A and B are shown apart, each in its own frame.
Chain A
Amino acid sequence: MHATASVRAVEDALGITIPDNARIIRNLISGIQYVQDHVIHFYHLHALDWVDIVSALSADPVETSALAQSISDWPKSSADYFKGIKDKLKEFVDRGQLGPFANAYWGHPAYKLPPEANLMAVAHYLEALDWQREVIKMQALLGAKNPHAQTYIVGGMSIPVDPESQNALNAGSIAFMQGLAKTALDFVEHVYIPDIIAVAPFYLDWAGHGAGVGNFLSYGEFPNDTASNTENMWLPRGIILNKDLSTVHKVDHQKVTEYVTRSWYNYSGGDDKARHPWDGETNYKYTGPQPPYEYLNTDEKYSWLKAPRYDDKAMEVGPLSRMLIAYASGHKEVQDTVNYVLKTLGVGPAVLFSTLGRIAARGVETLVTAKKLPEWINQLATNMKNGDMKIHSGEKWDPSTWPAEAKGYGFHEAPRGSLGHWVKIKDQKIENFQIVVPGTWNGSPRDAKNQRGPYEEALIGTPVANPDQPVEILRTIHSFDPCMACAVHVVDTDGNEIIRIKVK
């Protein structure tokens, strides 16, 4: 959601306060994004690290139905339903074209679920595919399309609000969104959360792996008021250091810096000195091996990612960070939901610092966010009722109204973690624009002090049963929700290297 961070950065630079409707619409777009994205992550990008599809072929539909009904009152849970899923899966396999499931790690000893749990997960994998397509229509309604909403403008949003018009958000739009919010919450409450709770006991050893760096950052999200860079947010801004939940530290954007010591860039002041994003530089200088190559030497520069640090420390970002900071800040909804999950599993808060903890925290965040959506929809309806149709603060729309120089920053908590944009404006043009993204926080290479980032730190000590089928590595890396577009390939290389070291 770079659009959110970028308009906030410019609004901060120019001192713009957005209208309340724009605040609510932004919260709704981000909120439904959290819910939809987390569910896709769990079922479509992460589940197959834990669920053995081939094993599902030997499941008993009657027992699968009994299992499903024991954990949830979700209506799609009859023996006939699961038989239909199993038959469909069998027909798919019998055709001999396994598509995206070919060459995977089926039968690997790290898969622990009984066949019935695997079949149930396959059914929910398919259901979630249809569900995600439906609920994200809220974003299309508010922002023209998904992905890539086209509605964010500096000063507000471009979707008009007018209950008396057919070309604007009106009462019908409110009803449409309420329906989608209900569809969203139903699935999260009755499928996603019960699935996590049903599967977790088979994998409790993963509460002991993948801890990472133990430092957590969240910029906070979902503003309750319209001031630029407000700290009054539903999910709080803060920092936790060394897994110490007793203290939540304040965030100072000036303490965010980036190293390029091990990255394929040069800094004019030397590569061992970190730079704040306002003074950031992007001078690329590739010094790695020429393709095709077998591996990268991590004692030299080895990544396109810069190494972001907060107060010179590596930080984890994402749902686990947000939920820990909310939990430690006394956020009631988060505390209640985390405590419910921990109690149901019969474990203490220490298990949260792990691969499994990331998965649980993502589920908790999805649930509390899905429950929050109707409140924002109602706020929008109330504004409509009171005749407030303002969606944009236009005083600074014309660049001729800007000062000769300005600088600002915009924070956003994207589903996968903290996103910051820093902008410097000179003579109505961008002088410098630097982005520090969740993928670089979590996937960070080493810095001048040789400190590892969260991915690298989390993989240390991960047991790997078969180095040719490193499903255990995938479990921990995927638990971060890596940005597939930029970081995963680097991670693959790192992962393979680490296996080599362990095998030796």
Chain B
Amino acid sequence: MKYQSDDPLHDVPGLMESLEKKGISRRDFMKWCTGMAALLSLPASFIPKIAEAVMAQKPYLVWLEYQDCAGDSEALLRASKPTVGQIVLDIFSVDYHETIMAPAGFQAEKSLMDVVKNQKGKYFVVVEGAIPLKDNGVYCCIGGKSAIDIAREVCGNAVATIAVGTCATHGGIPAALPNPTGAVGVKEAIPNATVINLPGCPVNAENITATIVHYLTLGRLPQTDKLGRPLFAFGKRIHDNCERRGHFDAGQYVKKWGDEGHRQGWCLYEMGCKGPETFHNCPTVKYNEGTSWPVQAGHGCIGCSEPHFWDTMTPFYRRLPNVPGFGVEKTADKVGVGLAAATAAGLAVHAVGRAMSSKKEDKE
């Protein structure tokens, strides 16, 4: 009988030698591949495929920055699985990223064009920031070229474009009303480009790497929702995975910053939390290597991964009307009718009653 190793990396040829050269311990690499499989909801049998995919020739990646604050670039620096050093030096060949690359000016633009010409149809693009379309694109020019002209050429020749952060996916803050520069997300600016949207303010860097590994491992881009967001990261509402969901269901709400409920980790719904309307994997992946995320730190979700959150999710500190609760299919209104006798009834009905009494803004 053939010995069956329970080590998924057992059959990956040349793996040990290659890892050794890179100074990556086998244990760390295994941990990363396993984590990636979990993030992508893939079975363990895919772990060797992930390992093989990332050990081959480094795929080229160029990072474009337009109307933004560099927050997504900063997020990239905090990436832990893998780390930014591994992303930039070992896993991808990041040939253009204005903030971190060594050359500047004409030399930098050469690096970008080298990839576009020599790797046509094979490289990835990450776009950070919105693209302004108004007035011939004069509101964002780099080296005298408009953002839209550069993006059309670079994204148009790429295997895929990953729009990171809500500015790049849907215009974000630059597109906030009255949107003076005509800022839009990448897909709207370049409709024929293949675009995956990873919104968030900023993007969670773990979702960037997971998207690319998904492609390298499975040979196709991840399935997305109707907003172009991968289901593995945006398939569930914050509210449904929230660590404080039990307090919502029990009708235990924070009323004031620093009150007993706030200190005891109760639900932030009445403080304006937008978790019930926001799709993102913050509660499970968290930020800064799992250190925290907004709700854990006592602040409600502001809905930053939803299109136009700046206009649609404000005021941030007023609670949402019509929050679905107690089962995804029912709205809080319907629940309010049927749940009067349930355990947590007192507070829950109070909350639901108030939700029913206002349409858009809660004035209380």
Within 8 A of A (CB), among B115-144: 129, 135-139, 141-144
A150 and B202 contacting across the interface, CB-CB below 8 Å: no
User: Which of A232-240, A269-277, A361-369, A467-475 is found at the contact surface with chain B?
Assistant: A467-475
Known: A126-B85, A147-B75, A160-B263. Contact between A136 and B288, CB under 8 A? yes
Cβ-based interface call for A137 (8 A): yes
A133 and B84 contacting across the interface, CB-CB below 8 Å: yes
User: Which of A251-259, A347-355, A372-380, A385-393 is found at the contact surface with chain B?
Assistant: A385-393
Bits for A398-430, please: 1 = Cβ < 8 Å to B, else 0: 000000000000000000000000000000000
Residue in A132, A140, A290, A484 whose Cβ sees the most chain B Cβ within 10 Å: A140
CA distance A87 to B78 in the complex (A): 25
CA distance A44 to B98 in the complex (A): 12
Cβ-based interface call for B246 (8 A): no
A391 and B257 contacting across the interface, CB-CB below 8 Å: yes
Out of A48, A142, A160, A292, which one reaches B262, CB within 8 Å? A160
Q: Chain A residues near B235 (CB, 8 Å)?
A: none
Cβ-based interface call for B334 (8 A): no
Cβ-based interface call for B88 (8 A): yes
Q: Chain A residues near B70 (CB, 8 Å)?
A: 483-485
Cβ-based interface call for A148 (8 A): yes
Q: Chain A residues near B139 (CB, 8 Å)?
A: 286, 304
Cβ-based interface call for A129 (8 A): yes
Cβ-based interface call for B2 (8 A): no
Known: A40-B77, A147-B74, A392-B256. Contact between A159 and B89, CB under 8 A? no
Out of A104, A165, A295, A392, which one reaches B144, CB within 8 Å? A295
Q: Chain B residues near A145 (CB, 8 Å)?
A: 286-288, 291-294, 297
Cβ-based interface call for B346 (8 A): no
Q: Chain A residues near B57 (CB, 8 Å)?
A: 97
Cβ-based interface call for B195 (8 A): no
CA distance A126 to B142 in the complex (A): 29
13 residue pairs of the A-B complex, CB under 8 angstroms, read: A44-B100, A92-B89, A100-B96, A100-B97, A133-B78, A145-B288, A147-B78, A166-B265, A167-B263, A168-B298, A484-B73, A485-B68, A492-B143
Within 8 A of B (CB), among A109-144: 126, 129-130, 132-133, 136-137, 139-144
Give A90's nearest chain B residue, CB to CB.
B21
Cβ-based interface call for A74 (8 A): no
Known: A137-B289, A389-B263. Contact between A105 and B107, CB under 8 A? yes
Cβ-based interface call for B302 (8 A): yes
Task: Tell me the total A-B contact number using a CB cutoff of 8 A.
Answer: 222
A144 and B287 contacting across the interface, CB-CB below 8 Å: yes
CB distance from B282 to the nearest CB of A (A): 9
Beyond contacts A88-B22, A92-B89, A141-B297: 7 other A-B pairs, Cβ-Cβ < 8 A, are A141-B292, A150-B302, A160-B262, A288-B138, A474-B104, A485-B68, A489-B141
CA distance A43 to B302 in the complex (A): 34
Cβ-based interface call for B218 (8 A): no
Cβ-based interface call for A84 (8 A): yes
Bits for A194-220, please: 1 = Cβ < 8 Å to B, else 0: 000000000000000000000000000
Interface residues of A (CB under 8 A from B): 40, 44-45, 48, 53, 84, 87-88, 91-92, 95, 97-105, 126, 129-130, 132-133, 136-137, 139-148, 150-151, 153, 155-156, 158-162, 165-168, 284, 286, 288-295, 304, 389-392, 394, 397, 468-470, 474, 483-485, 488-489, 492-493, 495-496
CA distance A40 to B96 in the complex (A): 19
CA distance A157 to B145 in the complex (A): 42
Interface residues of B (CB under 8 A from A): 21-23, 57-58, 60, 65, 68-71, 73-75, 77-80, 83-85, 88-89, 92-108, 110-111, 114, 129, 135-139, 141-146, 149, 180, 201-202, 256-258, 262-265, 286-289, 291-294, 296-299, 302, 317
CA distance A132 to B76 in the complex (A): 12
CB distance from A371 to the nearest CB of B (A): 24
Residue in A48, A100, A483 whose Cβ sees the most chain B Cβ within 10 Å: A100
Known: A102-B103, A103-B103, A492-B104. Contact between A151 and B299, CB under 8 A? yes
For the complex of A and B, the 3 pairs showing the least CB-CB separation, nearest first, are A167-B265, A145-B287, A104-B102
CA distance A158 to B294 in the complex (A): 10
B265 and A143 contacting across the interface, CB-CB below 8 Å: no
CB distance from A350 to the nearest CB of B (A): 29
Give A296's nearest chain B residue, CB to CB.
B144
CB distance from A254 to the nearest CB of B (A): 28
CA distance A168 to B89 in the complex (A): 38
Out of A294, A469, A484, which one reaches B98, CB within 8 Å? A484
CB distance from A484 to the nearest CB of B (A): 5
Known: A130-B85, A142-B297, A389-B258. Contact between A99 and B265, CB under 8 A? no
Give B85's nearest chain A residue, CB to CB.
A129
Give A47's nearest chain B residue, CB to CB.
B102
Q: Chain A residues near B297 (CB, 8 Å)?
A: 140-145, 150-151, 158-159
Q: Chain B residues near A162 (CB, 8 Å)?
A: 263-264
Residue in B68, B75, B89, B146 whose Cβ sees the most chain A Cβ within 10 Å: B89
Out of B84, B88, B202, which one reaches A147, CB within 8 Å? B202
A489 and B143 contacting across the interface, CB-CB below 8 Å: yes
A495 and B105 contacting across the interface, CB-CB below 8 Å: yes
CA distance A489 to B127 in the complex (A): 17
CA distance A98 to B180 in the complex (A): 39
Out of B58, B144, B291, which one reaches A140, CB within 8 Å? B291
B287 and A91 contacting across the interface, CB-CB below 8 Å: no
CB distance from B208 to the nearest CB of A (A): 14
A45 and B289 contacting across the interface, CB-CB below 8 Å: no
Residue in A92, A146, A168, A284 whose Cβ sees the most chain B Cβ within 10 Å: A146
CB distance from B211 to the nearest CB of A (A): 19
Q: Chain A residues near B138 (CB, 8 Å)?
A: 286, 288, 290-291
Q: Chain B residues near A293 (CB, 8 Å)?
A: 141, 144
CB distance from B8 to the nearest CB of A (A): 25
Q: Chain B residues near A132 (CB, 8 Å)?
A: 77
B83 and A390 contacting across the interface, CB-CB below 8 Å: no
Give B66's nearest chain A residue, CB to CB.
A485
CB distance from B224 to the nearest CB of A (A): 24
B299 and A150 contacting across the interface, CB-CB below 8 Å: yes
B287 and A140 contacting across the interface, CB-CB below 8 Å: yes
B258 and A390 contacting across the interface, CB-CB below 8 Å: yes
Residue in A95, A147, A292, A496 whose Cβ sees the most chain B Cβ within 10 Å: A147
Known: A100-B100, A130-B85, A148-B71. Contact between A492 and B105, CB under 8 A? yes
Out of A161, A292, A394, A397, which one reaches B149, CB within 8 Å? A292
A104 and B23 contacting across the interface, CB-CB below 8 Å: no
A168 and B263 contacting across the interface, CB-CB below 8 Å: yes
